[in-house]
Amino acid sequence: MAKKTGENKLIKLIKQSWQWVIMLLLLGFQLTLFFVILYRIMPVPVTPLHLVRVYEQLRDGKEVKLKKDWTSIDYVSEKFCLAVITAEDAKFNRHYGFDFEQIQNSIERGLKRGKKLRGASTISQQTAKNLFFTPKRSWIRKVPEVIITLTLELLWTKKRILEVYINIIEMGDGIYGAEAAALYYFQKPSSKLTSRESSLIAACLPNPRKWKANKPTSYINRKANRIQNLMHYIGELPWKETAEN
| Predicted TM-score (pTM) of this structure | 0.86
Which residues touch 190 (CB under 8 Å, ≥6 apart)? 71, 75, 76, 77, 80, 178, 179, 181, 182
Q: How far apart are the first and last CA of the chain?
A: 78
Give residue-wise pLDDT tens across range 74-113: 999 999 999 999 999 988 988 888 876 766 665 555 555 5
What pLDDT, on the 0 to 100 scale, is given for residue 11? 72
The residue ranges of the chain whose pLDDT is under 50 are 117-118
What pLDDT, on the 0 to 100 scale, is given for residue 10? 66
Determine the Cα–Cα distance for residues 177 and 171; give it in Å rounded to an integer. 6
The answer to whether 220 and 200 are in contact (CB under 8 A) is: yes
- The bridge status of strand 67-68 relative to strand 170-172 is unpaired
Which residues touch 37 (CB under 8 Å, ≥6 apart)? 155
What pLDDT, on the 0 to 100 scale, is given for residue 104? 61
What pLDDT, on the 0 to 100 scale, is given for residue 155? 95
CATH 1.10.3810.10 fits 46-99+125-237, yes or no: yes
Q: At what angle do helices 178-186 and 195-203 cross, to 10 degrees?
A: 110
Domain boundaries, the chain: 1-39, 46-99+125-237
| Pick from 76, 95, 46, 115: nearest CA to 197 | 76
